[in-house]
Amino acid sequence: MKSRLYRWADRWAVRVADRMGVTLARAKPLDLRGCDIHPLEAWYRAGRYQPVLMDVPLSKLRGLGSAAFPCTRDSGHPFIETLLEYESGKTRSYAGSALERFYQNWQPKNAAEHLGVGDDPECAKLRELDAIEAVLPWSRNDPALQRANVEGAVTLTSLSESGRTMVARNRWHLLGPATEESGTHEFWRLIDAYRSIKGNGFQRRDVSDGDIRGTVMFDGDDWCVWIGGGGQHRVSVICAQGFAAAPVRVFYHIPTVVRREDSSYWPHVVDGLFTQRAALRVFDRIFEGRAPWRNP
């Protein structure tokens, strides 16, 4: 009885939000873990605004934002390499780790380089933007909002003992350069996640950041999941520990899916930030898991 009441209240809240012009996704995903299911079937099963939790093979996952490393042990993914080094005893600190090499060498100068199209003459507008202003062609965010989101994510606000507000700035963890302090902080975030999952198993929750989150990308019937939301550390740990798949929450925000065939309608193709050809270059590189840089 209680679960039926919750489902009714969930549907009612979404309908009220619709009438107010607000998009409201249901918080609790439809749990399809353990099912051998194509994402399109999962999407149709879920219905409107319903996130889905499904098992995704690690070979289908693309991590570290637009760097789009495949989430596999042999991909050069710096988070995974760092954990494998830690597991073998080769690395015990940020210094000398694969993570340090990543931040030292992956320092895109502008948004075009960040997206892997720095050599494209059609991407002049992207070369005028900072790396943290890089937006994907299908994103609804404009570069200014993307910058604000990144800066908000790396700014930690706290109160000192005297009651004064103190702001501590960290580096964006998807690219370099990194200070020694921020690199060390990121290293221990990764190791802490590793120790927690190894000791307690993978724990998820229904809250917004309670799952690894990704966007499903389609090229015809083929698909992959781009990890653009939370979960970069968690999925790296799952891979390093030898699992074949990870539970991922999909269809949790708009666009719920990205289809290659829709490229002429993507927001930043329509507004001219990308040509359609350049936008497809970005899509294809991410889809194929071709990172624009690899650890030496």
At 278 the three-state DSSP class reads helix
Tokens describing residue 45: 């099963």
What per-residue confidence (pLDDT) applies to 294?
A: 66
CB contact set of 136 (below 8 Å; sequence gap of 6+): 66, 115, 268, 282
Tokens describing residue 73: 């042990």
Tokens describing residue 260: 């290659």
CA dist 207 → 29, 191, 213, 265 (Å): 10, 23, 12, 32
Residue 255 is classified by DSSP as: S
**pLDDT of 43-78, one tens digit each?**
999 877 789 999 999 999 999 988 999 999 999 999
Beta strand residue intervals within 114-180, DSSP E? 155-159, 165-169
In the predicted model, what is the mean pLDDT of residues 106-119?
Answer: 94
Lowest-pLDDT range of 137-141, 160-164, 177-181:
160-164
